[in-house]
């Protein structure tokens, strides 16, 4: 089956590595990595886009987060865990290929909810497809600038991909059986780390603006 995303096409080339390994005895192996995230993730990737927008909405620097299909299911892990697995792969006496994943899926919507919860915000999603919206249902504490009833998550058709893959799920059982590897950082811990980092960055931007200087603005509309 032809690859349908930028991530799947390079995977078709993974057959090249075993060919060279078998023909020339090269110490080479493929790591088939599923989505791996950290606070260093680029701002245009959905996880970072969510945590960055959440922090800015909490501080009153942004009104709304715009996303595509929030029902997409993704296997997300922490980059730190995945790099550790890559190192273990290279220590084998006989090189082999491994899938690096968590084996657990979450929807984009769930990621949004968890990120909002870290900011003390509970979101109520209503509607379907392009009509889906997320409104503030509850605000805990006094840090968040948004209020109950505010629409802070909306769907924008521009972010739908024509060849959308609706589910990503890896099987890390071989990594566990042969190398004893299992991911140590859970999704809630990953989300918390990313939200905290983006909150610090957004707070800094707010202080810069308050002092009368220019700061980078992120507005999609």
pLDDT tens track for 56-100: 999 988 999 999 999 999 999 999 999 999 999 999 999 999 999
Q: Mean per-residue pLDDT for 101-113?
A: 98
Secondary structure element (H or E) that encloses residue 191, with its range? helix 187-210
What proportion of the chain, given as a percentage, has pLDDT over 70? 91
Task: From 195, 160, 11, 37, select the one nearest 97 (Cα to Cα).
Answer: 11
The domains located in the chain, with CATH, are 8-207 (3.90.25.10)
pLDDT digits (tens, 9 = 90+) for 154-190: 999 999 988 778 999 999 999 999 999 999 999 999 9
Model-level pTM greater than 0.85?
yes
Tell whether the model's pLDDT for residue 137 goes beyond 60. Answer: yes
């Amino acid at each position: 089956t032809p690859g349908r995303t930028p991530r799947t096409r390079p995977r078709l080339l993974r057959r090249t590595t075993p060919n060279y390994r078998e023909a020339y005895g090269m110490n080479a192996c493929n790591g088939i990595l599923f989505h791996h995230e950290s606070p260093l993730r680029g701002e245009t990737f959905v996880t970072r886009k969510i945590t960055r927008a959440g922090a800015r909405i909490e501080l009153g620097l942004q009104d709304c987060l715009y996303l595509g299909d929030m029902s997409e299911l993704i296997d997300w892990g922490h980059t730190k865990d995945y790099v550790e697995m890559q190192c273990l792969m290279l220590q084998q006496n006989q090189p082999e290929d491994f899938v690096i994943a968590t084996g657990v899926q979450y929807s984009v919507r769930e990621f949004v909810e968890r990120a909002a919860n870290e900011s003390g915000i509970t979101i109520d999603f209503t509607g379907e497809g392009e009509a889906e919206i997320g409104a503030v249902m509850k605000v805990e504490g006094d840090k968040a600038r948004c209020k109950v009833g505010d629409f802070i998550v909306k769907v924008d058709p521009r972010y739908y991909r024509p060849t959308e893959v609706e589910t990503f799920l890896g099987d890390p059982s071989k990594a566990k059986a042969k190398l004893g590897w299992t991911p140590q950082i859970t999704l809630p811990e990953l989300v918390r780390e990313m939200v905290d980092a983006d909150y610090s960055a957004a707070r800094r931007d707010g202080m810069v603006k308050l002092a009368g200087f220019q700061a980078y603005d992120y507005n999609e509309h």
